């Protein structure tokens, strides 16, 4: 791959986001630790919304064959692989297979497939507002859940749509570099303080986009206000982050072209760590925080050419071509 042909900014952003995905999954079993619970909550506030945003940005033109090869095929292959892994490696004989209920992290590919199919319909004025309203209203329906990843597909679709309509030049011309970096850093500090202060009062599942309001014990008629506020806070947080991501080549820019490889593969390792009780060795703050380094290291390792080579027999070598 010739890095000069790529967009440095988005490669940097994609690597930062996939690192947070892996770190979030790595620390999830250890969130009884207050620092890790805070970090986990902060990550989940924005990382998948921004990932959906980036996906939308690079989805402005696609061919059905490209969608089939780079989304549907990986989904089907890894849905099978994760089933076999869960049944025969982790030993869960009760785990059942279905293409219609994605396994854990596979929801993203199934949602991506559906986003690509419906986004042409949302090309009217105020379509983003309509998508947000639908995302809020669907939380009242207990029947919308993991089947076909409908709950997350609908909840995260506004972010995908924002990315689809995103004008990078307009965005960065809103203000000069120095003021936007200062404002963004101060804004992120404020949001971090807010997350920390609310850590024990907010149900973290609200950030997943996969639970109805009643399942979160939000039974009042105005429960949707919580999701509306979450949309607003997530969008503001994402804007701050988009403002401070570097546009130049960095030591991790190259790895930004391998994000889906990392996404598809890291789940095997995380589940092995959980299954073999490796988390018992992370029983104090110092050791638990080392999980962050493990997640980051795992991201770099899975981004290497070795794993591109491993995926070649599965015709997934060029999976990130969808995002060029």
The tens digit of pLDDT for each residue in 78-123 reads: 999 999 999 999 988 888 888 888 998 999 999 999 999 899 999 9
What are 135-173's pLDDT values in tens digits? 999 999 998 888 888 999 999 999 999 999 999 999 999
pLDDT of residue 318: 47
Distance CA(192)–CA(198), nearest Å, equals: 10
Helix (H) or strand (E) holding 28: none
What number of other Cβ atoms are within 10 A of residue 297's Cβ?
13
C-alpha radius of gyration, the chain, whole number = 19
Of 25 and 174, more confident: 25
User: What is the structure's pLDDT at 23?
Assistant: 96
Least confident interval from 16-20, 29-33, 234-238: 29-33
Band of pLDDT at residue 261, cut at 50, 70 and 90: confident
Q: To the nearest whole percent, how much of the chain has pLDDT over 70?
A: 93
Q: What mean pLDDT is reported for the chain?
A: 89
DSSP letters, 199-266, are TTTS-GGGGTS-S-TGGGT--STTTHHHHHHHHHHHHHHHHHHHHHS--S--TTTGGGGGHHHHHHHH
pLDDT level of residue 249 (50, 70, 90 thresholds): very high
Q: Hey, what are 273's tokens? A: 């760590």
Question: Is 186 a residue whose pLDDT tops 90?
Answer: yes
Residue 320 has pLDDT above 60, yes or no: no
CA distance 108 to 135: 16
Q: Does residue 310 have a pLDDT over 90?
A: no
pLDDT at position 5 is 64
Flag the least confident range among 103-112, 239-248, 273-282.
Answer: 273-282
When pLDDT is averaged across residues 30-49 and rounded to a whole number, the result is 93
In the predicted structure, residue 319 carries a pLDDT above the cut 70: no
């Amino acid at each position: 791959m010739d890095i000069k042909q790529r967009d440095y900014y988005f490669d940097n952003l994609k690597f930062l986001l996939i690192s947070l995905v892996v770190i979030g999954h790595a620390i999830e079993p250890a969130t009884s630790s207050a620092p890790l619970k805070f970090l986990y909550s902060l990550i989940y506030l924005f990382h998948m919304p921004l990932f959906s945003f980036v996906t939308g940005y690079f989805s402005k033109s696609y061919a059905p064959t490209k969608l089939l090869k780079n989304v549907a095929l990986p989904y089907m292959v890894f849905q099978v692989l994760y089933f076999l892994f869960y049944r025969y490696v982790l030993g869960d004989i009760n785990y059942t297979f279905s293409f219609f209920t994605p396994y854990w992290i596979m929801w993203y590919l199934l949602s991506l497939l559906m986003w690509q199919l419906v986004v042409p319909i949302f090309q009217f004025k105020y379509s983003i507002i309509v998508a947000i309203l639908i995302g809020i209203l669907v939380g009242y329906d207990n029947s919308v859940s993991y089947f076909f990843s409908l709950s997350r597909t609908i909840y995260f679709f506004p972010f995908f749509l924002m990315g689809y309509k995103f004008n990078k030049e307009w965005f960065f011309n809103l203000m000069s570099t120095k003021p936007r970096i200062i404002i963004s850093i101060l804004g992120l500090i404020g949001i971090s303080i807010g997350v920390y202060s609310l850590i024990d009062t907010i149900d973290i599942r609200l950030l997943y986009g996969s639970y109805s309001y009643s399942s979160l014990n939000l039974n009042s008629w105005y429960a949707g206000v919580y999701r509306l506020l979450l949309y607003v806070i997530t969008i503001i947080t994402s804007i701050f982050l988009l403002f401070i991501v570097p546009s130049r080549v960095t030591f991790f820019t190259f790895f930004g072209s391998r994000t889906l490889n990392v996404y598809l593969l890291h789940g095997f390792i995380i589940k092995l760590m959980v299954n073999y009780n490796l988390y018992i060795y992370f029983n104090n703050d110092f050791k638990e925080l080392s999980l962050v380094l493990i997640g980051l290291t795992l991201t770099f390792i899975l981004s290497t050419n070795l794993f591109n080579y491993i995926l070649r027999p599965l015709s997934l070598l060029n999976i990130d071509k969808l995002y060029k």
